[in-house]
Structure 1
Amino acid sequence: MRINLTKKDLVNSVYMQLGFSKKISENLIDDFFSLIIENIIKNQKLKISKFGTFSIRYKKSRIGRNPKTKEEKKISARKVILFKPSKEFKEYINNNEI
């Protein structure tokens, strides 16, 4: 069983289901991801109906520790992306178990 879904898999799926050429399918997938990324950066939040919400959260800098060596290092402040699935998505996942 394969765990990862790759961009190539998405392109092939669009190619097979919609009948576009592979190049057009690849451009469509690239544009879709670019649109999502641009909106998250611009608005700090992106809601896709019946799928979920992506948002950006700021994390402060903090002291971290290497568990092996116990050496302390400063972890810099950064932004992280959060995903919260919608109610419909959760219900779909829970009702369609394999």
Structure 2
Amino acid sequence: MKNLTRADISNAIYEKIGLSKTDSSKMLEQIFDIMTDALKKEEAVKIVSFCNFYVKHKKTRVGRNPKTNEEHTITPRKVISFKFSKNLKDEIEKNG
């Protein structure tokens, strides 16, 4: 299975839209910057028919070292979650 990289996406923009490679790369970076800024402000990023990114708050909980079975406290934190849209799930299942 191949990974799709930033360079691959930038190159696809270059080929499909016809922007220069530099402009394609800059556009992609701007999109990622906009998404990152929104998530930093804990705003959801909703891309219709594709996915949603959102920040979740994890509460304090007790964790356990699997080797020693020793308990320790895991501090509260924020995590980024990702949810596929139903349309994308259906499309993947249809072609899978």
TM tier, smaller? 0.7 to 0.9
TM, length-normalised to structure 1:
0.80
Residue 25 (structure 1) aligns with:
24
Residue 42 (structure 1) aligns with:
41
* 1:43 positional shift: 4.8
- Write the mapping of 1:52-63 to structure 2, written as runs, cut at 5 A: 52-63=51-62
* 1:72 positional shift: 3.6
TM, length-normalised to structure 2:
0.81
- 5+ residue gaps, structure 1: none
CA RMSD of aligned residues (A): 1.8
* Sequence identity (%): 42
- Go from structure 1 to structure 2 and tell me whether the alpha carbon gap of 1:71 and 1:6 turns closer, same or farther (over 3 Å shift): farther
SS at 2:37's partner residue? helix
Give the total of aligned pairs: 96
The superposition leaves residues 24-72 of structure 1 with CA deviations (integer Å, 9 ceiling, x where unpaired) of 1111110011111222333531211111222111011223223234344
SS at 1:12's partner residue? helix
* 1:14 positional shift: 1.4
Q: Which whole-Å CA distance do the structure 1 matches of 2:26 and 2:33 have between them? A: 10
Q: Which whole-Å CA distance do the structure 2 matches of 1:62 and 1:29 have between them? A: 38
Q: Which whole-Å CA distance do the structure 2 matches of 1:51 and 1:12 have between them? A: 20
